[in-house]
């Protein structure tokens, strides 16, 4: 690996403290079998303030209350994974932040971490011993780690009592992955004006022709508004030119691609900006997984360009389930 540096000792106690924070809450996970917790910590790029947040995997309240924990939503479980939960709940920009996790992470969370600008991940050593991991080790090693390698995310096995870190993958802090399709951002002076937002969204959509995109209005800490626009894109660090073979042959149920709505969620976290509920437009129905995460992010309504189009049949199924229970509303905006 050309980007790897020599194994430098990590002197800060922070990952051990934060891992403890995750371990302390792991048993509060509502999941009966797979109890997982994570803690995210970093320094906000704009304010310089340190922040941290810890979460378990969980069912977003509206899903827990109205659908319950047994049913699948489309082909997705109704849970938000702990790592992704931390990213969407972070009180500061996640760009450059670190994550402590009780267990090895799935490829979807790996893609989310890359998109959210996470630079270091610490996994509790006990996480490698559990049965759950044995069953999922293949996806972790084959996909999650490959995604981290491309994105320049350092990964460590962490031993709490011994305060020891074993590098699994290590990058220089200066390493920057190639980025050929960043999320577009544009200042939006009209603020939360729905009519003007929808006019802007249609104009952006026409510039992108028939491509699948998502557009959202976001607000930063100073109250300024911006419009974010994202296309479908491979996980950060992958390029269609160089990595087409790998992208075209993913492992099992996972894909190396990130869908536009999910990218918007992660990019908003990366920059520490908040998505305005009711100001989210997608040209197609998001995937089932995206719709669950959108619910977890506290959004309640979406505009959709074409309600009959989606990556697969599960997006519209999830849409119907969430709509019927009054969890998410969908307005067609052709
Ligand atoms: Zn995950």
Q: Which residue has the higher pLDDT, 15 or 138?
A: 15
Distance of CA 146 to the CA centre of its chain: 17
Q: Residue 16 Cα, ligand 1 centroid: separation in angstroms?
A: 21
Q: Residue 108 Cα, ligand 1 centroid: separation in angstroms?
A: 6
Residue 307 neighbours by CB under 8 Å, 6+ apart: 285, 316, 319, 330, 332
Q: Residue 198 Cα, ligand 1 centroid: separation in angstroms?
A: 33
The DSSP bridge pattern shows strands 98-101 and 50-56 to be unpaired
Torsions phi, psi for 265 (to 5 deg) = -60, -45
Q: Residue 107 Cα, ligand 1 centroid: separation in angstroms?
A: 7
Residue 76 DSSP label:
B
Q: Residue 176 Cα, ligand 1 centroid: separation in angstroms?
A: 23
Q: Residue 323 Cα, ligand 1 centroid: separation in angstroms?
A: 25
**For residue 4, what pLDDT is reported?**
42
Q: Residue 99 Cα, ligand 1 centroid: separation in angstroms?
A: 13
Q: Quick check: 245 pLDDT over 80?
A: no
pTM above 0.85?
Answer: yes
CA distance 92 to 44: 5
Q: Which CATH architecture has domain 14-169?
A: 3-Layer(aba) Sandwich (3.40)
Judge whether 14-169 and 184-332 match in fold. yes
Q: Residue 194 Cα, ligand 1 centroid: separation in angstroms?
A: 34
**For residue 5, what pLDDT is reported?**
42
Tell me the percentage of the chain whose pLDDT exceeds 90: 75
Q: Residue 81 Cα, ligand 1 centroid: separation in angstroms?
A: 5
Q: Residue 207 Cα, ligand 1 centroid: separation in angstroms?
A: 34
**For residue 12, what pLDDT is reported?**
61
Q: Quick check: 1 pLDDT over 60?
A: no
pLDDT digits over 155-211, tens only?
999 999 999 999 999 998 788 887 767 899 999 999 999 999 999 999 999 999 889
Q: Residue 59 Cα, ligand 1 centroid: separation in angstroms?
A: 13
Q: Residue 199 Cα, ligand 1 centroid: separation in angstroms?
A: 36
Specify whether the CB–CB gap between 55 and 81 falls below 8 A.
no
Mean pLDDT over each residue of the chain, to the nearest integer: 90
Q: Which CATH architecture has domain 184-332?
A: 3-Layer(aba) Sandwich (3.40)
CA distance 94 to 298: 18
Q: Residue 233 Cα, ligand 1 centroid: separation in angstroms?
A: 19
Q: Residue 330 Cα, ligand 1 centroid: separation in angstroms?
A: 26
Q: Quick check: 126 pLDDT over 70?
A: yes
Q: Quick check: 2 pLDDT over 80?
A: no
What's the whole-number mean pLDDT along residues 62-91?
Answer: 96
Strand partners, 88: none
**How sure is the predictor about 7, in pLDDT bands with cuts at 50, 70 and 90?**
very low
Q: Residue 88 Cα, ligand 1 centroid: separation in angstroms?
A: 13
Q: Residue 87 Cα, ligand 1 centroid: separation in angstroms?
A: 12
The domain locations on the chain are 14-169, 184-332
Rg of the chain in Å (alpha carbons): 19
The DSSP bridge pattern shows strands 301-310 and 329-332 to be parallel
Q: Residue 132 Cα, ligand 1 centroid: separation in angstroms?
A: 13
Specify whether the CB–CB gap between 294 and 286 falls below 8 A.
yes
Q: How many CA atoms lie within 13 A of 246 on its CB side?
A: 16
């Amino acid at each position: 690996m050309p980007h790897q540096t020599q194994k430098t000792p990590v002197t800060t106690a922070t990952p051990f403290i934060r891992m403890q924070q995750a371990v302390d809450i792991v048993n509060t996970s509502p999941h009966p079998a797979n109890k997982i917790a994570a803690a995210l910590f970093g320094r906000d790029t704009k304010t310089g303030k340190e922040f941290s947040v810890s979460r378990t995997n969980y069912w977003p309240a509206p899903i827990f209350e109205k659908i319950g924990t047994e049913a699948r939503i489309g082909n997705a479980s109704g849970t938000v994974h702990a790592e992704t939960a931390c990213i969407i709940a972070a009180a500061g920009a996640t760009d450059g932040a670190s994550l402590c996790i009780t267990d090895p992470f799935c490829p979807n969370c790996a893609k989310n971490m890359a998109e959210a600008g996470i630079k270091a991940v610490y996994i509790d050593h006990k996480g490698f011993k559990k049965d759950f991991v044995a069953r999922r080790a293949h996806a972790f090693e084959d996909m999650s780690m490959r995604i981290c390698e491309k994105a320049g995310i350092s990964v460590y096995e962490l031993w709490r009592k011994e305060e020891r870190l074993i590098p699994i993958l290590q990058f220089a802090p200066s390493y920057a992955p190639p980025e050929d399709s960043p999320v577009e951002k544009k200042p939006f002076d009209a603020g939360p004006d729905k009519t003007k937002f929808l006019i802007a969204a249609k104009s952006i959509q026409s510039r992108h022709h028939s491509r699948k995109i998502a557009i959202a209005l976001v607000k930063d800490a100073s109250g300024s508004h911006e419009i974010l626009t994202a296309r479908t894109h491979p996980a950060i660090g992958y390029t269609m030119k160089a990595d087409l073979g790998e992208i075209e042959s993913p492992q099992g149920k996972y894909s190396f691609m990130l869908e536009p709505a999910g990218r918007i969620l992660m990019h908003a976290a990366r920059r520490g900006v908040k998505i305005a509920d009711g100001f989210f437009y997608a040209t197609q129905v998001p995937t089932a997984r995206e719709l669950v995460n959108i619910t977890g992010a506290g959004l309640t309504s979406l505009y959709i360009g074409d309600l009959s189009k989606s990556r697969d049949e599960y997006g519209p199924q999830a849409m119907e389930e969430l709509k019927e229970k009054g969890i998410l509303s969908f307005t067609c905006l052709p």
